[in-house]
Structure 1
Amino acid sequence: MEGFFGVYSIFYILIYLALGIISFVEIRKYYAASKFLNKDIVIKSNNTAGVSIIAPAFNEGKTIVSNVKSLLSQEYPKFEVVIVNDGSSDDTLEKLIAEFELVKVDFFYQERIKAAVVRGHYKSTNPIYNKLLVVDKVNVKSKADAVNVGVNSAKHSLFVCTDVDCILRKDALAMLVKPFIESETKVLASGAAIRISNSCEFKEGMLYKSHYPKNFFARFQELEYIRSFLYGRMAWSRLNGLLLVSGALGMFDKNTVIEVGGYREDSLGEDMELVTRMREHMHEKKEKFKIIYIPESLCWTEGPSDKTIFLRQRVRWARGLAQNLWMHRKMLFRPKYGTTGMMALPYFVLCEFLVPILELVGIVFVLLDLFFFGLNTQFLLIVTSSVYLFYTFVTLISIYLDQLTYKQYSSIKDIFTLLLMVFFEPFLYHPITTYASLKGYYFFLMKKEKKWGEMTRTGFNESIAR
């Protein structure tokens, strides 16, 4: 057993070293070519592709007005904002109607993706808000259904899926649309870095000053985001093996999404499942495609700030991962499915899904050795130290790349705290995420009732700059 864990540890380290090198090369390539099509040209062009921003809203009455105004402030010549009121039981719809002078209109609604009943479409009588469309629908406790209604209502060929409480950079649409314009190969989707908004300051719906989060869970989530978005997804973008475009911010080709049937309501990881299904669809059609990730921080979202909500989120993510891998298992190790079947899915099985299980098995075997066979402390120390040092090395490199490209934190104190958390993460935070993953796998295996759960947020009010 010691030999197996030793071999697996070496395999794991080599995989991440390769991803790190590829990410670094791809980031350099991205910034070297960033002037090929300057975003200002896209922003000022009247012939650019139209984009629909789709944002579901459920009981967002406290912040809905400021959030919608933030989405409407995009610097892009041809876009609309589609707010899907997902059967809110509070005053979300009433506030939208009052603030934006909305009236119910006759709307040609074509249900190209099966979805819940739509009660009406609303447009503003004020020309200032002519880019806003509000859709009121029956709630079926599924974000996927709300987005599908938004896709059915959207008028443009590209759409961005986001959360209504996310804060987007003003040029987010211009940056996300560039891959669709530049690539000769069909682009199915594009994504960008998501950042944690906890402790940040916002002014008029835009980021005013970035701070490293003060909350325990938010601090470590920021580390995770930096590592996964910069270190991992840039590499998979280069290999054309991206399986996930974040549900908080992703741009999609609408026709392809409609062809595959939209988001699945029964999926607990609907964003990953959609991308995987789109890839499968294109492989079946034997058509070339790309899913592209760009190394830009374009979206800020609030992370769970207490243990209950955090665990609920991570358990759902783990169940979603297990569910998605099971749903699409037929593609595993099949050359017919190209990079998806031969690289991306195997990676998620071996280096994502199995890791929490192997950690648990490893702990069990260490305890058995300790009590019955005599513990090989030298081997344990070597393996544990190697994994710890490599884990911190990967995170430190990610932070270096992040500061090199974004300069997200200007405060020395913020940077120092961020670096300090790197060394505590494996001991304080990683065990919690491992526990959540194992719990999620157990729920999936036992076919526990699928509950999304309400992700209560504190909102941006407390961090708005005055």
Structure 2
Amino acid sequence: NIYVIDKKNGGKADSLNAGIEYSSQSLIVTLDADTILTEQALSIVNNTFEDKDVVAAGGMVHVLQTKTSNPLRDLSLLHTNMLVRVQMLDFLKAFYITKVSLARFRALAIISGAFGIFTKQALVDVGGYRTTIGEDIDITLRIHRYISGQKKKKIVFVPEAVCYTELPENWKDFIKQRIRWQKAFIDCFIHFRSFFWKTFFTKPVSFFYIAESFLVGTIGTYVTTGIFVINSTLNLPTFSPYYIFTYLSYIFLFSLTYDLVAIGMGKHYGFTFQKKDRYRLFITIIFDIFVYRFVTLYIVMYGSIAYFFNKDWNKVARTGRNYQTDSKSAA
């Protein structure tokens, strides 16, 4: 049975809380409006919660524009532009490498809003969703704080439970979305700062959030950019062609390895690209290394500063395309 709750628009958090209140089952599944679940996804996550120590779980999110008529095996780049392809590659890295790794250390800080599963009791105990710019990261961290005194309780990532969600197809919407994500990251860093510092040496999620995401991912971006600007302005010895070549070579080799491992991990979980997509995939990797990563550096720096001056959602428009039809032609 499907019930539609007719209520005034009070924002995403308010709608999620209304759904939690009206639900009668022990598990709550949250999705984005454009999320498409594969047939086995709910059965897989339902089995995950047979372990009573699991209080929340996240599923694997693939890019809707790459969906084919065989959504559990094949990905297609045929009807995608470069921006969608490089985001697809970014998602493979974020989910199949980062989330899989963090989940093993019980340090998963974000259950994607596109596909999240929670026990109703946990959501009720933490007081439901908070009205904020990033509900998905906020609720995940609130549950981490909630279970911090319960050693056996855990948040897991389930890569076998697959969904598809639409990603921006133009740079304007992409930058707006990623700036919002960075604002959400900063918002949660400030909101949960007391929890992070108190549990820095005892909770992996706090250690990785501060050390890896904040210090390396955010502060490190400013430091690296600052060093580059100072060296180039003052023409210091460290700005010689040799050092630049060495640095860029490191960036290239590390990024290339990262991309190839992500594609390999996707194959490990059953997802492959068609042979005719290999050239597109190669060009995407090159674009990721030499263009996309520098765009994301700008987004991290701008989004971190913009949080303190403008906390708007930066809503991204949907394409409205019928992917069920498009997917067959892409197969």
- TM norm structure 2: 0.90
Gaps of 5+ in 2: none
State the Cα deviation string for residues 411-447 of structure 1 (Å, max 9, x = none): 102234223311221222222222222221121133x
Q: 1:222 aligns with which of 49, 68, 88?
A: 88
Work out the CA distance in 2 between the residues paired with 1:420 and 1:455: 27
Gaps of 5+ in 1: 1-130
Work out the CA distance in 1 between the residues paired with 2:39 and 2:196: 40
CA contact (8 A) 1:269 1:320 kept: yes
RMSD value over aligned CA atoms?
Answer: 2.4
Q: Which residue of 1 aligns with 2:313?
A: 451
The alpha-carbon deviation at position 393 of structure 1 amounts to 0.5
Go from structure 1 to structure 2 and tell me whether the alpha carbon gap of 1:295 and 1:351 turns closer, same or farther (over 3 Å shift). farther
Q: Report 1 or 2 for greater relative contact order, CA contacts < 8 Å, sequence distance ≥ 6.
A: 2
Go from structure 1 to structure 2 and tell me whether the alpha carbon gap of 1:464 and 1:229 turns closer, same or farther (over 3 Å shift). closer
State the Cα deviation string for residues 301-322 of structure 1 (Å, max 9, x = none): 1110011111110110010111
The amino acid across from 2:4 in the alignment is V
State the Cα deviation string for residues 244-273 of structure 1 (Å, max 9, x = none): 1110001111111111111111x2111011
Go from structure 1 to structure 2 and tell me whether the alpha carbon gap of 1:193 and 1:355 turns closer, same or farther (over 3 Å shift). farther
CA contact (8 A) 2:68 2:74 kept: yes
CA contact (8 A) 1:331 1:337 kept: no
Q: Which deviates further from its counterpart, 339-348 or 240-249?
A: 339-348
In the alignment, is residue 231 of structure 1 matched against residue 97 of structure 2? yes
Q: Which residue of 2 aligns with 1:178?
A: 47
Larger radius of gyration: 1
Q: Which residue of 2 aligns with 1:148?
A: 17
Q: Which residue of 2 aligns with 1:138?
A: 8
Aligned with 1:451: secondary structure?
coil
Work out the CA distance in 1 between the residues paired with 2:72 and 2:34: 13
Q: 2:184 aligns with which of 314, 320, 323?
A: 320
In the alignment, is residue 352 of structure 1 matched against residue 217 of structure 2? yes
Q: 1:424 aligns with which of 284, 287, 294?
A: 287
Q: Which residue of 2 aligns with 1:160?
A: 29
The alpha-carbon deviation at position 155 of structure 1 amounts to 1.1
* Higher strand fraction (1 or 2): 1
Work out the CA distance in 1 between the residues paired with 2:239 and 2:260: 32
Work out the CA distance in 1 between the residues paired with 2:319 and 2:222: 31
Q: How many residues align?
A: 326
Q: Which deviates further from its counterpart, 422-431 or 338-347?
A: 338-347
Q: 1:195 aligns with which of 62, 65, 70?
A: 62
Aligned with 1:300: secondary structure?
strand
Aligned with 2:203: secondary structure?
helix
Work out the CA distance in 2 between the residues paired with 1:332 and 1:449: 23
State the identity as a percent. Answer: 23
Work out the CA distance in 2 between the residues paired with 1:378 and 1:353: 27
Work out the CA distance in 2 between the residues paired with 1:374 and 1:241: 37
Go from structure 1 to structure 2 and tell me whether the alpha carbon gap of 1:419 and 1:193 turns closer, same or farther (over 3 Å shift). farther
